[in-house]
Amino acid sequence: MPQKIIIDTDPGIDDAMAIAYAVAHPDIEVLALTTIFGNVRTQEATANALALLDHWNAPADVAEGESAPMAIQANEPSYLVHGRNGFGGVEIPASGRSAHALDAASYMIEATRRHPGEITLCAVGPLTNLARALERDPEIVTRVRAVVVMGGAVHRKGNVTPVAEANFWNDPHAADAVLGAKWPLVLAPLDCTMPVLFTPDYMEAVARENPKLGKPLSEMAAAYSRFYRSHLGLGGCVPHDVMAISWLTVPGAFRLQKGALAVITEGPAIGQCVFQPGGTRSRATVFDGRPDHLVMVDTDPGLFLADFMTVMTGHAA
């Protein structure tokens, strides 16, 4: 049976790539997109989520989430990276649908009650919605099949500060709460995303193999790549959010470490993800009582890229 997932997302170019992969994969059933601020504002994320699902004929719900972080003032959206509409200026027709009556956190709670042990939460934006769900119903940790989070940087430097990755930096308190919870969690940090590059030639091939999904992704990737070229000197773009979905279907593409995780919530290192390998001890009390989680610390780029292309090609066929 296909794996049931809810994608918590702030679409977002790499979010669109992750959603497309999930929609295309025969072993995944997307129940819903829950929306959050980050790459764009929450209302814009909801409009983008609805537009993508309609454009790709994907019958999933969209539940709108939190509009601000738990305890800090909201940062400006990442329009510099993703463009003012979140899609690098690529126009996706607006949906005529409305969001679900439940907000994102309530949707997660109710869905996991209906399908206990069956749903994986795939969070590829700031973690405010997941943290609110934990607040409202701590027992949700016993009902999820798994939680996969794209966020943080464990052994690498950050991408918005020297130490912080964007999703955790946008709501460090939420990230810390989610990583401290005792649910089965896998973290996909920059360590596993930065080794992979979607080059222009690769994305053009995706567009040829699957025009419906691939053409808008290729156009978005062109804009995304301009940012990576000008700021990092890379000849393509990094598909960060796809890793959170790929873990479910091609786990052999990733190298893992196990350990406890926490997020710094104040000071110049705000948003930094800190990691204590399993079986080790230190004098850092921040890890006291925290569970060990799995961390994806590296990726086999060839296997990852081949799988993404295979899924896209198979969906087109």
Cα 206 to Cα 89: distance, rounded to the nearest angstrom: 19
Question: Among residues 10, 176, 241, 307, which one is catalytic?
Answer: 10
Q: What is the pLDDT of residues 129-177, one digit of tens each?
A: 999 999 999 999 999 999 999 999 999 999 999 999 999 999 999 999 9
Q: Is 10 a catalytic residue?
A: yes
Q: How is residue 24 annotated by DSSP?
A: H
Question: Among the options 240, 241, 293, 315, which is catalytic?
Answer: 240
Distance of alpha carbon 157 from the chain centroid: 18
- Going by C-beta distance under 8 Å and a sequence separation of 6 or more, which residues neighbour residue 129? 8, 34, 36, 65, 66, 104, 105, 108, 123
Which residues have CB under 8 Å from 256's CB, separation 6+? 294, 295, 296, 297
Q: Which parts of the chain have pLDDT scores under 50? A: none
Q: What interhelical angle do 242-249 and 301-316 show, nearest 10?
A: 80
Map residue 197 onto helix, strand or coil.
Answer: coil
pLDDT, one tens digit per residue, over 241-286 is: 999 999 999 999 999 999 999 999 999 999 999 999 999 988 999 9
Q: Which residues contact 267 (CB under 8 A, 6 or more apart)?
A: none
State the pairing for strand pair 61-64/119-123: unpaired
